[in-house]
């Protein structure tokens, strides 16, 4: 019976996909715990006043372990999204404060590379408290800004957050991350959002990375019904932008004394 065979095949495929996703999730968790211990212990050693040459080696150890942790976290997140296990939170937060905290560390990184860094936020957003998932917003912006810095040799990174539409109880915010970097070939514009895909083998060799960042960003935005726009000119730079709607909190903010 053809129907029966098809159903058995689908059932088997679903079970195997579930097993794969559970395996990935368990493995990633198991790797994360010891890695966090390695990073924690390395930090303690760095603070214990070692010799300068030891400090240098410890910084390399910390950098490599942190990179590995970022990769494991990406795999874990991608797996969570693919298996439909991601849950968005609805928390009150101030977008300006969030953007400042995301971009603080990133602007230091850009300056270390000799790049200018601008965070331009609409004044009207200063006192607005919106409702959404700050962790996921951070993940999206952090990925875009990290890429912008990574793929730019000179010039400027500009992060813009603007009020696109205000309907009192909800707002639409325009987010944009622009760089003056290597740009992306028109043929590759779709492929870069696919998991484990980088523009070319040369990219992997020169810049590292797993090719999971944009796949995660795209899927997170899609789950919120948001589409990412990319404008890019090879050799000139790229701009990643999107509009997202948020509920505005009507609760009066608690005055700090």
134 contacts ligand ADP (rule: CB under 6 A): no
72 contacts ligand ADP (rule: CB under 6 A): no
The residue assigned the tokens 């797993």 is 210
Least distance in Å: CB of 134 to ligand ADP?
21
CB neighbours of residue 104 within 10 Å: 10
145 contacts ligand ADP (rule: CB under 6 A): no
Dihedral sign (CA 232, 217, 224, 187): positive
Pick 43 or 200: Cβ nearer ligand ADP: 200
Pairwise CA distance, residues 155 & 162, whole Å: 22
Least distance in Å: CB of 148 to ligand ADP?
5
Q: What would the x/- binding string for ligand ADP be over residues 232 to 251, using CB under 6 A?
A: ------x-------------
Kind and range of the H or E element at 101?
helix 95-112
Pairwise CA distance, residues 56 & 48, whole Å: 13
Site for ligand ADP, residues 182 to 201, rule: CB under 6 A: 182-184, 192, 198-199
Of 23-31, 87-95, 125-133, 205-213, the window that binds ligand ADP (rule: CB under 6 A) is 205-213
Select from 62, 209, 244, 246 the one that contacts ligand ADP (CB under 6 A).
209
Least distance in Å: CB of 21 to ligand ADP?
20
Least distance in Å: CB of 214 to ligand ADP?
3
- Residue 170, C-beta contacts closer than 8 angstroms, at least 6 positions apart: 245, 246, 247, 248
Pairwise CA distance, residues 46 & 69, whole Å: 19
The residue assigned the tokens 């994360």 is 32
Q: Give the CA count within 13 Å in the CB-facing half-sphere of 228.
A: 25
Site for ligand ADP, residues 90 to 119, rule: CB under 6 A: none
Pick 42 or 79: Cβ nearer ligand ADP: 79
75 contacts ligand ADP (rule: CB under 6 A): no
3-state secondary structure 12-81: HHHHHHHHHHHHHHHHHHHHHHHHHHHHHHHHHHHHCCCCHHHHHHHHHHHHHHHHHHHHHHHHHHHHHH
Pick 132 or 181: Cβ nearer ligand ADP: 181
Footprint on this chain of ligand ADP (rule: CB under 6 A): 143, 147-148, 151, 179, 181-184, 192, 198-199, 203, 209-215, 238
């Amino acid at each position: 019976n053809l129907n029966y065979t098809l159903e058995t095949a689908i059932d088997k495929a679903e079970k195997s996909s579930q097993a794969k996703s559970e395996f990935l999730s368990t493995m990633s968790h198991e790797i994360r715990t010891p890695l966090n211990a390695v990073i924690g212990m390395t930090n303690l050693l760095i603070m214990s006043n070692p010799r300068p040459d030891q400090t240098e080696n410890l910084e390399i150890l910390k950098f490599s372990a942190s990179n590995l942790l970022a990769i494991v976290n990406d795999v874990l997140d991608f797996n969570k999204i693919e298996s439909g296990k991601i849950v968005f939170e609805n928390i009150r937060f101030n977008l300006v404060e969030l953007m400042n905290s995301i971009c603080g560390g990133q602007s230091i990184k850009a300056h270390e590379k000799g790049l200018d860094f601008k965070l331009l936020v609409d004044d009207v957003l200063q006192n607005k408290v919106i409702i959404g998932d700050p962790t996921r917003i951070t993940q999206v912006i952090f990925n875009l800004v990290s890429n912008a810095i990574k793929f730019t040799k000179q010039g400027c990174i500009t992060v813009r957050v603007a009020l696109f539409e205000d309907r009192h109880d909800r707002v639409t915010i325009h987010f944009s991350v622009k760089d003056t970097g290597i740009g992306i070939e028109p043929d590759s514009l779709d492929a870069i959002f696919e998991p484990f895909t980088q523009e070319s083998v040369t990219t992997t060799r020169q810049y590292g990375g797993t090719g999971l960042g944009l796949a995660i960003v795209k899927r997170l935005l899609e789950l919120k019904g948001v589409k990412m726009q990319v404008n890019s000119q090879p050799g000139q730079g790229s701009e990643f932008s999107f509009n997202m709607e948020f509920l505005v909190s009507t609760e009066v903010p608690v005055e700090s004394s």
